[in-house]
Amino acid sequence: MSPFEYAPAPESRAVVDIASSYGLFIGGEFVEATGGTPFKTVNPATEEVLAEVSEATDDDVDTAVRAARTAYTRVWSRMSGADRGKYLFRIARILQERAREFAVLETLDNGKPIKEARDVDLPLAAAHFFYHAGWADKLDHASLGPDPRPLGVVGQVIPWNFPLLMLSWKIAPALACGNTVVLKPAETTPLTALLFADVCRQADLPPGVVNIVTGAGATGQAIVDHPGIDKLAFTGSTAVGKMIARSIAGTRKKATLELGGKAANIIFDDAPIDQAVEGIVNGIFFNQGHVCCAGSRILVQENIAEELDHRLKRRLATLRVGDPMDKNTDVGAINSRKQLERIEEMVAVGEAEGAERWDSGCDLPTNGFWFRPTVFSGVSQTHRIAQEEIFGPVVSVLTFRTPAEAVAKANNTPYGLSAGIWTEKGSRILWMADQLRAGVVWANTFNKFDPSSPFGGYKESGYGREGGRHGLEAYVTTGGRG
């Protein structure tokens, strides 16, 4: 039980204006879809229907790709980098000005706590546009190779866990490098992408530079398969990432795939243990654990395992799970019924395999999709809950005795997206970071992001990097103009 009772602190939703239905944003305006089946997007905390959204058909995707091609050849690829940068700066400023509106809409559509949408998603989304605005006129000096040039039309498919932030990760570098885009948000979280369309208009972005088509997997597939797409950028599950890789094999399309993860958060016996507990909480209970780089496996040195277990559970019992619109809420709603079922299924597997399940026992709202912060102890490396991504507020605890054993266990997954190390010794941090097959390694912290820092994976976590100078490489071609 929490030692404190907090008075309700609800954020007002009056700042957002949600239409009852939305079309597709193509060529700078909202147009009706040509016949797909519209679908509803719901607030996962209440199951209230928020809006009806269009399903883009193959024909709609074709229209969007053509609009992007026209904008590319006639306007965007001809514009100077300095001028492109001005548009990106303008978008960044508008996102800042409308941050509250976006944060509330994100929380309503996604279920994440308002304090996270407000303090993480929105500032980072704006930061991505600011950062890439700065690069737009400096690509010749970014060590990308001789004569960096845009690729053309980029197809982008994003997931539901950080809807606006993933949009920013995709659109900002693409535009900075002179490409135009056709982007599909996830079926369960389309609203902030549709609001972003309004930002594009407000910024006077030339029509067709950004096109947003909504729909489910079939719409994503239509983007992937369209012959007019020069490059694909995908974030989502490894299963869909593999399908995309198969679909484009043998074509001239380039791709970056940012897929799943099963990160180890490694706690040594000399770590500041209370800070490590906070790092674990931030690592796996931030955003309900819907984070590809979440610290979903704790590897703790055996001699402190009992103490860590005690302190972690004491801390988890204080997490406030509930109304995402309440500014005191720590853990919000699971994004969809489908995802909740997937979490429940994996937790049942963990129990059946013999791991010991503990949850925080907190009260949950009656409507909506919820899952209590959950810890599995007695987990062995062969357990599915130690190998597969659960993508929910569930952590598996394993132990180790030596640094070498920690490295071997940390690397023993099909993934390689991120890792965390908690220790007092700098030399050990450097040695471990060198051994870990993970794209990002945090030391004495976790889940810290910055647009200047490249992000991406090894193995089944995908390929290519997003963010930083490295992230630009995916959006340009260099060398001879053959």
Choosing from 129, 268, 369, 391, the residue that interacts with ligand TAP (CB under 6 A) is 391
CB-nearer residue toward ligand TAP: 278 or 388: 388
Q: Which two tokens stand for residue 120?
A: 């993480």
Choosing from 172, 177, 186, 441, the residue that interacts with ligand TAP (CB under 6 A) is 186
Q: Which two tokens stand for residue 161?
A: 């866990």
CB-nearer residue toward ligand TAP: 127 or 417: 417
What is the C-alpha R_g of the chain? 22
In the complex, the smallest distance separating the C-beta of residue 424 from ligand TAP, rounded to whole angstroms, is 32
Choosing from 159, 279, 403, 471, the residue that interacts with ligand TAP (CB under 6 A) is 159
How far is the C-alpha of 342 from the C-alpha of 336, rounded, in Å?
Answer: 10
CA nearest to 286, candidates 257, 310, 265, 314: 265
Residue 362 annotated as catalytic: no
How far is the C-alpha of 303 from the C-alpha of 269, rounded, in Å?
Answer: 7
CB-nearer residue toward ligand TAP: 222 or 280: 222
In the complex, the smallest distance separating the C-beta of residue 455 from ligand TAP, rounded to whole angstroms, is 11
Choosing from 240, 281, 331, 440, the residue that interacts with ligand TAP (CB under 6 A) is 240
- Collapsing DSSP to helix, strand or coil, 465 comes out as coil
* Region binding ligand TAP by CB under 6 A among candidate stretches 15-23, 154-162, 197-205, 432-440: 154-162
CB-nearer residue toward ligand TAP: 13 or 342: 342
How far is the C-alpha of 271 from the C-alpha of 287, rounded, in Å?
Answer: 25
* Region binding ligand TAP by CB under 6 A among candidate stretches 65-73, 86-94, 104-112, 235-243: 235-243
* Region binding ligand TAP by CB under 6 A among candidate stretches 132-140, 145-153, 238-246, 436-444: 238-246
- Collapsing DSSP to helix, strand or coil, 233 comes out as strand
Indicate whether 294 belongs to the interface with ligand TAP (CB under 6 A): no
Indicate whether 235 belongs to the interface with ligand TAP (CB under 6 A): yes
Indicate whether 243 belongs to the interface with ligand TAP (CB under 6 A): yes
Indicate whether 385 belongs to the interface with ligand TAP (CB under 6 A): no
Q: What is the dihedral of CA 296, 286, 172, 229, to 10 degrees?
A: 50
How far is the C-alpha of 144 from the C-alpha of 30, rounded, in Å?
Answer: 36
How is 239-257 classified by DSSP, letter by letter? HHHHHHHHHHTTSS-EEEE
Distance of CA 346 to the CA centre of its chain: 21
In the complex, the smallest distance separating the C-beta of residue 357 from ligand TAP, rounded to whole angstroms, is 19
Indicate whether 260 belongs to the interface with ligand TAP (CB under 6 A): yes
* Region binding ligand TAP by CB under 6 A among candidate stretches 130-138, 159-167, 272-280, 313-321: 159-167
Cβ–Cβ < 8 Å for 34, 59: yes
CA nearest to 394, candidates 283, 318, 476: 283
Indicate whether 232 belongs to the interface with ligand TAP (CB under 6 A): no
Q: Which of 258, 389, 466, 473 is catalytic?
A: 258
Residue 258 annotated as catalytic: yes
Choosing from 224, 284, 375, 472, the residue that interacts with ligand TAP (CB under 6 A) is 224
Q: Which of 55, 116, 200, 292 is catalytic?
A: 292
CB-nearer residue toward ligand TAP: 68 or 212: 212
Query: What residues form DSSP beta bridges with 184?
Result: 157
* Region binding ligand TAP by CB under 6 A among candidate stretches 12-20, 130-138, 151-159, 423-431: 151-159
In the complex, the smallest distance separating the C-beta of residue 191 from ligand TAP, rounded to whole angstroms, is 13
Give how many residues touch ligand TAP by CB under 6 A: 26
Instruction: State how far the alpha carbon of 59 is from the alpha carbons of 36, 207, 356, in Å.
Output: 10, 19, 51
Indicate whether 36 belongs to the interface with ligand TAP (CB under 6 A): no
CB-nearer residue toward ligand TAP: 77 or 247: 247
* Region binding ligand TAP by CB under 6 A among candidate stretches 86-94, 139-147, 215-223, 324-332: 215-223
Instruction: List, in order, residues 6 or more apart from 105 with CB less than 8 Å away.
Output: 16, 18, 191, 192, 195
CB-nearer residue toward ligand TAP: 110 or 179: 110
Choosing from 389, 460, 466, 473, the residue that interacts with ligand TAP (CB under 6 A) is 389
Looking only at the bridges linking them, the beta strands covering 254-258 and 462-463 are antiparallel
Secondary structure element (H or E) that encloses residue 311, with its range: helix 305-316
Q: What is the dihedral of CA 274, 278, 280, 282, to 10 degrees?
A: -170
Q: What string marks each residue from 424 to 443 as x (binds ligand TAP by CB under 6 A) or -?
A: --------------------
In the complex, the smallest distance separating the C-beta of residue 159 from ligand TAP, rounded to whole angstroms, is 3
CA nearest to 394, candidates 304, 301, 291: 291
Indicate whether 121 belongs to the interface with ligand TAP (CB under 6 A): no
DSSP structural state of residue 10? B
Q: Which two tokens stand for residue 57?
A: 């058909």
How far is the C-alpha of 297 from the C-alpha of 283, rounded, in Å?
Answer: 10
Q: Which two tokens stand for residue 316?
A: 């988890």
Beta carbons within 10 angstroms of residue 5's beta carbon:
6
List contacts with ligand TAP (CB under 6 A).
Answer: 157-161, 184, 186-187, 216-217, 220-221, 224, 235-237, 240, 243-244, 259-260, 292, 339, 342, 389, 391
Which positions are annotated as active-site residues?
Answer: 258, 292
